[in-house]
Amino acid sequence: MEDMLEDTVLVNLRINGKLHELEIPAHKSLLDLLRDDLNLTGTHMGCMTGHCGACTVSIDGRVAKSCITLAATLGRAKITTIEGLTEDDGTLSPIQQAFWDEAGFQCAFCAPGMLMCTAELLEDNSDPSDEEIETALAGNLCRCTGYQSIRRAVKAAADKKNKSTREATE
């Protein structure tokens, strides 16, 4: 059975559209891989226990906490980090712009989690209620805003997204 054990693991990850073939040690978290190896420091290291949500990224279209995701288990996956929300020319996405306009962050340490969860929420739900917003963001802690401006930002993001979808179809 010893031949089934690997000291390093090969993974193929498409991160923000770019393909990375990486040989990584078995114990490496996705958070360390993103921040230390790929210099994608927009994903933040907070609690390391899965409580705070600052390390949130999207894996195959579903948000996950990268500090408690073992990178070796991913094999082939499509990953989007907060850097991936921005257009190539640096233009903010409607969600990012809405958080900016509504002061949806102060120190912004929690922003990766708030923004990535908002992105996933608005994929399936173009007009979320307060309760739906709270459920979607329940895995993220913010110690600055008191959450009210974040809820406003999510609603503004939904409006912006709906408006740009309407304009695109007209």
Partner 1 sequence: MSLYPAFARPRDLGQAAEIMGSLSTGAMIIAGGQELMPSVNYGALMPEVYIDVGQIAALKGITEEDGGIQIGSSTVHRDVQDSEVIKSKLPLLSYAATQIGGGMQVHNRGTIGGNIVAMHPLYDILPSLLALGAEVDVLKGEGEARVALADLMKDASHGLGSESLLVRIHLKPMTPSAGWSYEKLKITAGGYGSANAAAIVTLDGDKITGLRVVVGAVSALPVDMSDALGGCRGQAWSEHLAEEIEEKASAEVTDPLSDHQGDGDWRRAMAGVMARRAVETAVSKAG
Residue 79 CB neighbour total at 10 angstroms: 25
Binding mask 103-142 for partner 1 (x = CB under 8 A): ----------x---x--xx------------xxxxxxx--
Residue 3 CB neighbour total at 10 angstroms: 5
Piece in contact with partner 1 (CB under 8 A), picked from 12-20, 46-54, 80-88, 154-162: 46-54
Binding mask 73-102 for partner 1 (x = CB under 8 A): x-x---------------------------
The three-class DSSP label of residue 161 is: helix
Residue 72 binds to partner 1 (criterion: CB under 8 A): yes
- To the nearest whole angstrom, how small is the minimum distance from the Cβ of residue 98 to partner 1? 19
Place of tokens 């090969």: 10
Place of tokens 């979607």: 136
CA distances in angstroms from 73 to 33, 94, 144, 148, listed in the order given: 13, 32, 34, 37
Out of 19, 23, 27, 170, the residue judged to bind partner 1 by CB under 8 A: 27
